[in-house]
Amino acid sequence: MCHKLKTSLSTCFFICSNVIILMVNMMKKIFIFVTLILVLTGCNNQEYYSKNLFYMDTVINIKIYDSNQNKVNKAFEEIEKLYQKYENLTNFYDENSELSKLNNDVDTNISDELWQLIKIGVDWYDKSNGLLNINIGNLTKLWHDFRENPQNLPEVDDIEISKLNIENDQIINSEVSIDLGSIAKGYVTELAGHYLEENDLEYYIINAGGNVKTGKSHKGYYNIGIASPINQNETFEIVKGENISVVTSGGYERFYEYEGTLYHHIIDPNTKYPANNMKSVTVIGKDSGECDALSTILFLMDIDEGKEFIKDYDVDVIWFTNDNEIIKSDGFRYE
C-alpha cells in the first residue's frame, strides 16, 4: 500500500524504522528487528510517497519525493519486482530458489544475475583474507537451526569450510553450500537506487532493514539516526549526508541466549562461532553493496585491524564496542 504525504517548510517529521514487527507464519512467531532510525530533515513543499515491502527476511521502506504520482507508482512496482526477483534467486532456505537448487546440484544452470553475486562474493573473500566467505552455508544453517530450536550448542568442529572456486564461469568445488546473506541485500538496494536515479527520481530514501540508501535531499542532507545496540528505542549517533549508504551489522539483531551467552547470526569462519569483537559496526559510503560487505567484514575484525583495512576504501566507520565506547574512523565526515 502506498501512502501519499505532504510536508511544508515549517514541518519536520520523524520516520522511525526501529520497530518490532510481529508476523505469524506457519504458526511460528518471527520477530524482525530493524535497527536504523531515519530522522528526516530537508522538508519542503514537495509531496512524498511511501511504500513498505517485505523481502529478503526484512521490512523494506521506500520513500520518494516527486510530484508525479504515476511515475512514482511505476517505480514502486519495478523496485518490488527487483527485490522479489533476487529473493527468488538467493533465498538460502527456500528449496525452490535458484541458489538452493545450485547448492544441491552443482550442474544447475546459473543465471547471469546469480553469477554476478557469486563472483562478487568470491572477490570479497580474496579482499578480506577469507573473513567474508559465501561458501559457509552449511555452518550458517547449523547456527540458524540452533537459534530456531535451541537444545545443545551446534557441533561445528567437523564442519568443513573452503573457498568457493570458480573457473571459466564454472564452479569447480565438489562441496558447495553458498549463502549470500552477507552481500545480497546491499547489492539489491544499490540496484534499486540506481533505478530511481536513472528514471529522474533523485530524491528518495530506501531503508532495507538496517541498510539505508539515500538520494538527494532538498535541504542538502538527511539526518540518519543509528539505533543503540543496548536500547534500540534510542539512537547513539546521527549521520548527516545525502547520496550515501549507511549499513549497520550487529549481533543484537538475530540471536538466542543460551546458558547466559548470546549467540547471533554473524559467524566467524575461522572460529566457526558467532563473532564477539564488538556490539555493532556502521559503515557509511556511496555504494550500498560495498557498505554491506564491509560492515560484515569489520564486525569479524578487531577495531585496530578494521582501521587498517578500510584505508583502501572511501568509507567512514562507527564502532560500538563491547564496553559501550563509540569509536569513529579518522577524519569522520558525516557529523
pLDDT digits (tens, 9 = 90+) for 151-186: 777 778 888 899 999 988 889 888 899 999 999 999
**What is the structure's pLDDT at 209?**
84
What mean pLDDT, rounded, does the chain reach? 83
Cβ atoms of 89 and 181 within 8 Å: the answer is no
Average pLDDT over residues 9-16: 30
Say if residue 117's pLDDT is above 50: yes
Q: How far is CA 250 from the centre of its chain?
A: 11
pLDDT band at 266, cuts 50/70/90? confident
Cβ atoms of 278 and 322 within 8 Å: the answer is yes
Ranking 38-52, 177-191, 264-278 by mean pLDDT, the lowest is 38-52
**What is the structure's pLDDT at 256?**
55
As a whole number of angstroms, the longest Cα–Cα distance in the chain is 62
Quote the CA–CA distance of 80 and 78 in Å, as a whole number: 5
Reported as half-sphere exposure (CB side, CA atoms, 13 A), residue 143 has a value of: 25
**What is the structure's pLDDT at 154?**
74
Cβ atoms of 164 and 170 within 8 Å: the answer is no
**DSSP character string of 34-90:** --EEEEE----S--EEEEEEEETTEEEEEEEE-S-HHHHHHHHHHHHHHHHHHHHHH
Cβ atoms of 223 and 242 within 8 Å: the answer is no
Q: What is the per-residue burial (b if ≥16 Cβ within 10 Å, else e) of 53-70?
A: bebbebbbbbbbbbeeee
Say if residue 52's pLDDT is above 60: yes
Quote the CA–CA distance of 205 and 217 in Å, as a whole number: 9
Closest to 275 in 3D by CA, of 259, 252, 294, 247: 252
For 225-250, the pLDDT digits (tens) are: 998 888 877 899 999 999 999 999 98
Query: Residue 290 is which amino acid?
Result: E
Rounded to 5 degrees, what are φ and ψ at 299? -65, -25
CATH superfamily of the domain spanning 2-91+182-328: ApbE-like domains (3.10.520.10)
Q: For residue 290, give the 3-state DSSP assignment.
A: helix
**What is the structure's pLDDT at 96?**
93
Cβ atoms of 284 and 315 within 8 Å: the answer is yes
